[in-house]
């Protein structure tokens, strides 16, 4: 029977990064993956394909609507949807092959099949041809990820009623796309299909979009998306979708209950969140405790209640983000090697890859108010940023929240061009315990969007220069 120091179940960003770090630290490592390719949700049906389509559809929209303003004459762009999908698929292929290469490079053994914890130190792998292999291991890290959350009575067929997975492979642009849920997936994939020509209508249960994000950011972002043509129906829910006719008929009701209306649409995207995935793992039989939302319970060292079994990523509590899963993968590998692995959950950035992008790190104003923390706010709009004006990309702003007593940066929120790249500076500032003054005194290259971050830091002490 093959024997290892560590077996990682699942090769998403949590699992594959954990395996590589453990191998770097000298452990004998194997991974188990039930799907045909490595990389998990993120690389196969999540981050990577969605960003490919966001990029391609943004260029398509720019070619159609912005080029003329820049003095570039092109005829009206035509959409080759199959070609765009091929571009997206090639991006996925490059990434998943990259993971296979890294496993080889780091001498990590790979087992393809469903992994089940047969005993604390034993994993059984049911391979695709029906055989069972047993592996012995000192430690197990569960990195089994998450799955689409479903709505009672609304059956996802991945053709007309789709989850994000189906929305990444639609064969034609729907005339109407109805999205349930104004969260990250709804707004990213809604942006893709609107740019390609669909009329996109979003139904959201709460009275705002992007719950959990800073409310001022969410309000401004909603206005921007509305200007782009997306429509929103807040405080509403979809109770049923009738697929018997040529058009889907969705029953929409006020969230608080009341008279229903029927909306006709071609495609419905269900984007109401994701749930932890423990299918086939045998966690119950192994005695691994789950919380009331089905997440594996771990302590500060990612250890479950069963000695030798650890868990990371989407299957445990915390934001369902690839970089959070990766950071936990590294931390648990280092802990297993006797080092002080650690994740700072206050400094995990969050990005929505729309146009403009939305990015944040640290606390929102609502969280600071609820915690009774006094803070100063520095804000700077992109309308006053030289590069943004030159590029005609002036929508949005940077907002920095700093402790009123110590000036320490507590939260940074950006709506604007390249916000997702700019937030890295803010994450570093929070990680290092920087003050707004530190950012304000740091030289930022001119002309760049990043100067808006510096100006927002100056604005914390009411001394922004360009406004
Ligand atoms: P996963 O990536 O879900 O990987 C789990 C792996 O475990 C899978 O490969 C699965 O097949 C395997 N597995 C499960 N059970 C078993 C078993 N019993 N035996 C063997 N293998 C098993 N996050 C971001 O940070 N940025 C983004 O831009 C982003 N975009 C996204 C877009 C979409 C459409 C979606 C759906 C998600 C997106 N996410 C994004 C979220 C991100 O994909 C997840 O947070 C991340 O993949 C979680 O990593 P993980 O390793 O915990 O799990
Ligand atoms: P989400 O949690 O971001 O948003 C779900 C939305 O649906 C919320 O606004 C919620 O209020 C609403 N909702 C819930 N039930 C509803 C109902 N019955 N009717 C109407 N609205 C309802 O979840 P989403 O967008 O599905 O994404 C899942 C996860 O994937 C997220 O947690 C996110 O972290 C991750 N992800 C990250 C991305 C990124 O980092 N750029 C991109 C895509 C996904």
111-150 pLDDT per residue, tens: 999 999 999 899 999 998 999 999 999 999 999 999 999 9
Confidence category of residue 234, pLDDT binned at 50, 70, 90: very high
- Confirm whether 413 is a catalytic residue: no
Question: Rounded mean pLDDT of 343-360?
Answer: 98
Cβ of 267 below 6 Å from ligand 1? no
19-64 pLDDT per residue, tens: 999 999 999 999 999 999 999 999 999 999 999 999 999 999 999 9
What is the distance between the alpha carbons of residues 328 and 382, in angstroms, rounded to a whole number?
A: 35
For the CA of 238, the nearest atom of ligand 2: 19
Cβ of 237 below 6 Å from ligand 2? yes
- Residue 423: the pLDDT is 98
Q: Residue 10 C-alpha to ligand 1 middle, in angstroms? A: 9
Q: Residue 379 C-alpha to ligand 1 middle, in angstroms? A: 35
- Which three-class secondary structure state does DSSP give residue 429? helix
Let me know: does 297 contact 305? Beta carbons within 8 Å: yes
Residue 207, token pair as written in the block: 């009275």
Confidence category of residue 1, pLDDT binned at 50, 70, 90: confident
Which CA distances in Å does 272 have to 27, 186, 199?
Answer: 39, 8, 20
Q: Kindly name the residue from 65, 301, 342, 446 that is annotated as catalytic.
A: 446
Mean pLDDT of the chain: 97
Of 152, 272, 325, the one to substitute when testing ligand 2's pocket (max ligand atoms within 8 A of C-beta) is 272
Q: Per this entry, what is the length of the chain?
A: 467
For the CA of 352, the nearest atom of ligand 2: 41
Confidence category of residue 312, pLDDT binned at 50, 70, 90: very high
- Residue 454: the pLDDT is 98
- Residue 120: the pLDDT is 84
Let me know: does 336 contact 22? Beta carbons within 8 Å: yes
Question: Rounded mean pLDDT of 168-173?
Answer: 98
214-233 pLDDT per residue, tens: 999 999 999 999 999 999 99
Q: What global pTM score does this model have?
A: 0.98
Q: Residue 105 C-alpha to ligand 1 middle, in angstroms? A: 23
Cβ of 272 below 6 Å from ligand 2? yes
Please report which ligand is nearest the Cα atom of 168.
Answer: 1
- Residue 205: the pLDDT is 98
243-262 pLDDT per residue, tens: 999 999 999 999 999 999 99
Cβ of 180 below 6 Å from ligand 2? yes
Cβ of 46 below 6 Å from ligand 1? yes
388-438 pLDDT per residue, tens: 999 999 999 999 999 999 999 999 999 999 999 999 999 999 999 999 999
Which CA distances in Å does 318 have to 38, 42, 161, 276, 315?
Answer: 23, 16, 28, 11, 9
Please report which ligand is nearest the Cα atom of 183.
Answer: 2
Cβ of 185 below 6 Å from ligand 1? yes
Cβ of 358 below 6 Å from ligand 2? no
């Amino acid at each position: 029977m093959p024997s290892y120091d560590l077996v990682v179940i699942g090769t998403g960003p949590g699992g594959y990064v954990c395996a590589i770090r453990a191998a770097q630290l000298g452990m004998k490592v194997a991974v188990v993956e039930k799907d045909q390719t490595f990389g998990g949700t993120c690389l196969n049906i999540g981050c990577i394909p969605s960003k490919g389509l966001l990029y391609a559809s943004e260029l398509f929209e720019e070619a159609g609507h912005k080029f003329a303003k820049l003095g570039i004459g092109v005829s009206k762009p035509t959409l080759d949807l199959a070609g765009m999908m091929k571009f997206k698929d090639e991006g996925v292929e490059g990434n998943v092959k990259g993971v296979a290469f890294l496993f080889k490079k780091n001498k990590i053994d790979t087992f393809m099949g469903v992994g089940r914890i047969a005993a604390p130190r034993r994993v059984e792998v049911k391979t695709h041809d029906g055989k069972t292999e047993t592996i012995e291991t000192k430690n197990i890290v569960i990195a089994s990820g998450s799955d689409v959350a479903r709505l009672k009575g609304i059956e996802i067929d991945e053709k007309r009623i789709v989850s994000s997975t189906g929305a990444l492979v639609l064969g034609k642009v729907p005339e109407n796309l109805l999205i349930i849920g104004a969260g990250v997936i709804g707004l990213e994939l809604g942006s893709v299909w609107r740019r390609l020509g669909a009329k996109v209508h979003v139904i959201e249960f709460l009275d705002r979009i992007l719950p959990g994000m800073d409310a001022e950011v969410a309000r401004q972002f909603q206005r921007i998306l509305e200007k782009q043509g997306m429509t929103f129906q807040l405080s509403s829910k979809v109770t049923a979708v009738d697929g018997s006719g040529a058009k889907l008929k969705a029953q929409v009701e006020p969230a608080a209950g009341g008279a229903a209306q029927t909306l006709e649409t071609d495609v419905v995207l269900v984007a109401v969140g994701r749930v932890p995935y423990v299918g086939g793992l045998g966690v119950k039989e192994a005695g691994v405790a789950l919380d009331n939302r089905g997440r594996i319970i771990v302590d500060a060292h990612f250890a479950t209640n069963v000695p030798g079994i650890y868990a990371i990523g989407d299957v445990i509590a915390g934001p369902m983000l690839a970089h959070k899963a990766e950071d936990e993968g590294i931390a648990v590998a280092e802990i297993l090697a006797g080092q002080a692995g650690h994740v700072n959950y206050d400094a995990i950035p969050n990005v929505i890859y729309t146009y403009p992008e939305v990015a944040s790190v640290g606390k929102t104003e609502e969280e600071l108010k609820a915690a009774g923390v006094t803070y100063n706010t520095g804000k700077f709009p992109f309308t006053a940023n030289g590069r943004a004006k030159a590029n005609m990309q002036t929508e949005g702003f940077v907002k920095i929240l700093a402790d009123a007593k110590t000036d320490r940066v507590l939260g940074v929120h950006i709506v604007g061009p390249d916000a997702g790249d700019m937030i890295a500076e803010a994450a570093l500032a929070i990680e290092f315990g920087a003050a707004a003054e530190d950012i304000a005194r740091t030289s930022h290259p001119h002309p760049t969007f990043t100067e808006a971050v510096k100006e927002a830091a100056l604005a914390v002490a009411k001394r922004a220069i360009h406004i």
